[in-house]
Structure 1
Amino acid sequence: MAHRLTVIGTGYLGATHAACMADLGFEVLGVDVDEERIARLAAGELPFYEPGLEPMLRKGVESRRLRFTSSYPEAAEFGDVHFLCVGTPQKAGEYAADLSAVDGAIGTLAPLLRRPCLVVGKSTVPVGTAERLAETLARTAPTGGDAVLVWNPEFLREGFAVHDTLRPDRIVAGLPPDQGAADHAEKALREIYRTMIAAGTPFITCDYPTAELVKVAANAFLATKISFINAMAEVCEAARADVTKLSQALAHDDRIGGRFLGPGLGFGGGCLPKDIRAFMARAGELGADQALTFLREVDEINIRRRIRMVDLARQLLGGSFAGRTVGVLGAAFKPDSDDVRDSPALDVAASIRAQGAKVTVYDPKAMPNARRAQPSLEYGESALTAAENAHVVLLLTEWPEFRDMDPSALAEVVAERNIVDGRNTLDPERWRAAGWNYRALGRP
């Protein structure tokens, strides 16, 4: 008999996982305490932007393989396997992760589990969390040891979430110490992920702590690689070298590779910044804080890129933003997303406005979220309206429509032809040929 799945938490991770599992043919019940979100998902509407996901959501809902509820008792009765996909944001005023949603979900679900089942943690959590949750599960679930916890971290990239769920580059399963429970859990997960495994995806088993560390270690490495090339951009500016050519040359070294080696404004979003900070906090609690002191510099390099972007724009305006107009292209932290959490683009825009400029922002997908996050900024309906009468234009999110803009058309609406390419995505020669004063991070 096929497993029936629940997905606890229907935010970005949960909604994606639920829709994809339904697309693979499973019966899936999405669970969330947010009634408005549940209603939208049940109507086939995605509360966020992710390419290719909404049609899959609608298909699952229409086929009735995918349903949504706010009832934990219904979920406990329905599910053979419960995927835990709730958020773990950064605590206010601290580096540590806020685990209240994880603890709340387990605390609510466990007392309702009256038959054998698997609870699969996918949320990004500090190492040691799974062991604690397994103890809670064993102590409070009526079925006792027949409710088995596995830790199965997610590795989704925003903009590629459907691909990364259905065709992952690895599946990691942190199994319980009891061999019988571990064998049962591994068998169940292999059945659920059989399509991916058959396609060649490696299935890696380990203990709880290792599984928890895989995700945060991966994010720490990626953040370090991004900040490394941006540190080189700082040196390139001082040496009058070109960081884009430097990056291109480094990428040809197979030991280094070119992915995540794009110099620019740095990383943001709901994962990398908070995950590396939570990793540092947890290492400190474990007495291993010195092992991760380099991540503090990784974080600081990333923040310095935003400051440098503001400085470059100010230099082009003669040293002051007062009374000037600035057009900002991009609000999301990356293209193919409407996520503005810890967005470098919005951070730069707000900083410039605070220094006296009129700032108008445009983004193809993130406008509603941007307006909620930064209501004091002005917003345009297109790249041209955002740039109207601007003394400087800043490209801060590398959407294709910005990369492919006609510099002559943009020149007709601005007050001055100054542009700062925060993502090193434009062709400098093309823009300079159209009369623009082109500047970019890490380039002469």
Structure 2
Amino acid sequence: MSDAIRTSTTDSTNLRTTATPASGAVRPEGEGVAAGSIPLDGIRVLELGTLLAGPLTGRFLGDFGAEVIKIEAPDKPDPLRGWGQVKDGQGLYWPIAARNKKLITLNLRVPEGQRVFLDLVSKADIVIENFRPGTMEKWNLGYERLAEVNPGLIMVRTSGFGQTGPYRERAGFGSVGEAMGGIRYVTGFPDRPPARVGVSIGDTLAALHATIGCLMALHERSRSGRGQVVDTALYEAVFSVMESVIPDYLLAGYIRERQGNILPGIAPSNIYLTKDDKYIVIGANADNVFRRLCQAMGEPELAEDPRYATHHARGERMEELDQRIEAWTRTLDAKDALAVLERHGVPSGLIYSAKDMVEDPQYQAREMIVPVQHPVYGTFPMPGIVPKLSRTPGQIRFPGGSAPGEHNDDVYRGLLGYSEEVLARLKEDGVI
């Protein structure tokens, strides 16, 4: 503890409150959510990350009840504030990325800020950071130092290449992780350069893996009482979803290349143009599903045709089979084709834009777009919480705030017990 800063002692357990859920909190219809029933209620998280992977991890934990305290430098707020389309001077992604988070400012580059951080660590369960490896150690805030203050602390560290290895000190954004993790190599069409997925999938995968690791460490701590480091590398998070590309190469001499909208040997599974110039996805590569597709097309005999009757046969004649299916889809508008496919139990769907999502009854029934009140925008359409828990669902308690340091008083006075005089001095010195 910092005796120079602490002026009173506060029982932190009395300060871990569950906020009233914002309008549209996700829960089963007709059921309330009692205080303390949300899964991570009572877990306190300090989020140091900027941009995407670190803040996404904090968001996932906050969605299920963790008290997330997001720390930004006083002179350099998170650049994520400007992401998305800008409306009324603010990026529209920020209210989503910062939802369910308390916002404070703290300068970790100065000794006084580091002492304040250690006070926060003493009352935390988890620290999230996604700086380049060595940054926290440079500030004398590596895991060994933090564990001296709080042996039960879990430190979630996300970086381009992990905390060890010859590349550990390299700068690494999600785009680099996508490239070196392998997903960019197989994304796109064979006659064009590698493409990217239309969202920051590398950061998202890293955040999901970091969240999983964090939850496993929390579970283990319940037995041992000890914390540990969760080390997630962006390239490894991407690599972990790359299916069998390595044994395909090492054992079969095959390197998967860009194939556009198909997967090698998997047919039919493609996009198909309809009469009204829309594209629908059809996945009918399993034998029984292909049989149902043939019935939907009015050609049941195709399912017994030796050219298409087996998985391998369809894979070998993928192009001609896709042309045959599209010849059928082009005779129908998308909604009519999908209705026929649905009746026959064939997995299919329209390729959705944001407009399609907003208008879709399934999105509405599952509360995947939740209206939440925002101080600047009024009703803000917030993406819903995934996954859905039947008994203790997550909550959107409040949207991401606007001003850096918005909750300084709540955290520094309420949680740490700092006096007005101490807060004034920290602000004057540029610590907060």
Same fold, TM exceeding 0.5? no
Which structure has the larger Rg over C-alpha atoms? 2
Greater fraction helix: 1
Q: TM-score, with normalisation over the residues of structure 1?
A: 0.29
